[in-house]
Structure 1
Amino acid sequence: MAQTASNRFPLGTIAPNFKLKDTNSNDTYSFEDLKGSKGTLVLFIANNCPFVLHAVPEIIMIANDYRVQGLGVLAISSNDSISNPENSPEMMTEFAFQHKIDFPYLFDESQEVAKAYDASCTPDIYLFDSQDKLFYHGQLDDSRPGNEIPLSGSDLRSAIDALIYNRSLKNPQKPNMGCGIKWK
């Protein structure tokens, strides 16, 4: 399985704003609409990526654990749905239902949002602070499909805890690995 690393996106960068349709509700949201009081987790995912399928149970647990603490959570699919129909808005809705994703799952049809975030892989994980500045851009944990390391979300959980409890990050931020975004 081909692996693509996340690009470097400088810490402190202000979250690019957007207006995208949520495939769960059919409402249109901006970053401003979805951000949390303590920070915001932005995830670029794809329905058919083995790395996403591997990570989604932990992503759901993290969302459920931290939304009640003021963390906004949203996912974006930027894959070309013409050449990859399994990533169409209808299939995104079905994927969200199957995996119990109850936070916004937004469709980036133009791929402009992925370009603004310099997203390169799925999952690509961005954690912004309450001032919308990038606090963490890295991996969920060391687990990958087939490497026998248990899924824990430890790297992302440590970053969220540091953000919420106003601590400095102790561990270096490792780039995430995943499927490359399918560009038009």
Structure 2
Amino acid sequence: MARTESNMISLGTSAPNFHLKDTNSNDFFTFSDCKGEKGTLVFFICNHCPFVHHVIDEIILVANDYRVQGIGMVAISSNDVEQYPQDSPELMTEFAFENKFEFPYLYDETQEVAKAFGAACTPDFFLFDNQDKLVYRGQLDDSRPGNGIPLSGSDLRGAIDSVLYNRVVNPNQKPSIGCNIKWKK
């Protein structure tokens, strides 16, 4: 598994819009459709990445804890499914069902959305405030497969709490580390 870091795009960047198909409902969603009253978390994941498998339970806990508090949530997979068929939309549906996703899991077939966000790895997290400005990009927490650090979601949770309680999000943010997005050739 290749260890790739987030690109750490500039804080304050406006949320890119998208129009992608949800693999659960077969409906199309835009950023506005996924937007929360107080903020929006967009995260790039895929079905097969060991880094995603390591953190998926905590991602679900974060989603369940914060969706009810006005944070919109959406997951996006942008991997090349010709080279990585385990990330196909059909298997995305299964992955979402098995992990009890209560948020859209969108398929970025053209990879244009991942490029617009500056996504580089899975998982890669982007938190926007209620003005659709980027306030956090980076890691869930310091836990990685095999490093023995328990999952807590502390970095991402701290940023979301700051958005919810109108505090400044700490600008010292660590990049996420995961498998690289599988770009089309």
> Normalization by structure 1: what TM-score?
0.98
Q: 1:44 to 1:97 in 2, by over 3 A?
A: same
Shift of the alpha carbon at 1:2?
Answer: 1.7
Shift of the alpha carbon at 1:172?
Answer: 1.7
Alignment root-mean-square deviation, CA = 0.8
Question: Aligned residue for 2:89?
Answer: 89
Name the SS for the 2:156 alignment partner. helix
Counterpart-to-counterpart distance in 2, 1:169 and 1:107: 29
Question: Aligned residue for 1:167?
Answer: 167
Shift of the alpha carbon at 1:169?
Answer: 2.6
**How is 1:1-184 mapped onto 2 (pairs within 5 angstroms)?**
1-170=1-170, 172-184=172-184
Q: Deviations over 1:63-85 (max 9, x none)?
A: 00000000000000000011100
Shift of the alpha carbon at 1:99?
Answer: 0.9
Structure 1 residue runs without a partner (length 5+): none
1:115 maps to a residue whose letter is K
Counterpart-to-counterpart distance in 1, 2:131 and 2:8: 20
**Stretches of 4+ moved more than 4 A in 1?**
none
Q: Deviations over 1:19-66 (max 9, x none)?
A: 000001000010011100000000000100000000110000000000
Q: Deviations over 1:106-152 (max 9, x none)?
A: 00000000000111000000000000000100100000000000000
Identity %: 68
